[in-house]
A = this chain, B = another copy of it.
Amino acid sequence: MAITAPELVTSRWFNTPEPLTLASLRGKVVILHAFQMLCPGCVAHGTPQAQKLHKLTQRTDQAVTIGLHTVFEHHEAMTEVALKAFIHEYRLTMPIAVDQPAENGRIPRTMRLYEMNGTPTTIVIDRNGVVREHLFGQVDDLALGYLVGSLMAERVEDLSGGTESDIDRAESGCRVPTGTAS
């Protein structure tokens, strides 16, 4: 059964004149990169990969790469001011949203809607708005590029939520501790 990607719930955007919504991106492939600026696996691998994918996908109007800052620990350190400095220092140009903090609990709202295990998480959404891949930790460049390329070339009407992704599961990320009061 295909899962339609829940809408993003955000409190702020960087690198875009106005907020993006998945609804308005329907018809395009969307790569959602969930990260935390103090997550070592994000800084070393995930975020540079997403930025590189942004450089590839921005040359077309068929796909969009979005960063999502999903802070679930060290909230006092990963503020919007700090994120802004991080974006500057790492020269990130992809659109980046701040996931809206929960009213209660540590896990922010979009992160909870997608039931993410931690950061980095890579979510690939097809032209019909269906989640085709949901990966925690380090993702292979070749396999990710291959998946995004395949989905970009799919016609909207083709999509039966069909093919399985070929990306092997590795793990190198900041996992949400079990039993976290989210």
Taking Cβ atoms with an 8 Å cutoff, the residues of A that contact B are 38-40, 43-44, 49, 52-53, 56, 59, 74, 76-79, 81-82, 84-86, 88-90, 140-154, 166, 174
Which residue on chain B has the smallest CB distance to residue A76?
B81
| A contacts with B: majority SS | helix
Copies of this subunit = 4
A82's nearest neighbour on chain B, judged by CB, is B77
In the complex, the answer to whether A78 meets B85 with C-beta atoms within 8 Å is: yes
CA distance A174 to B85 in the complex (A): 13
B40, B76, B150: the one within 8 Å of A89 (CB): B40
Q: Which 3 A-B pairs have the closest CB atoms?
A: A149-B149, A145-B145, A153-B153
Contacts of A154 in B (CB 8 A): 153
Q: Which residues of B contact A78 (CB under 8 A)?
A: 82, 85
A85-B74 in contact (CB<8A): yes
29 contacts between A and B (CB under 8 A): A38-B82, A38-B89, A39-B89, A40-B89, A40-B90, A44-B44, A49-B142, A52-B140, A56-B146, A56-B166, A74-B89, A77-B79, A77-B82, A77-B84, A77-B85, A78-B82, A78-B85, A141-B141, A141-B142, A142-B144, A142-B145, A144-B145, A145-B147, A146-B146, A146-B149, A147-B149, A149-B151, A150-B150, A150-B153
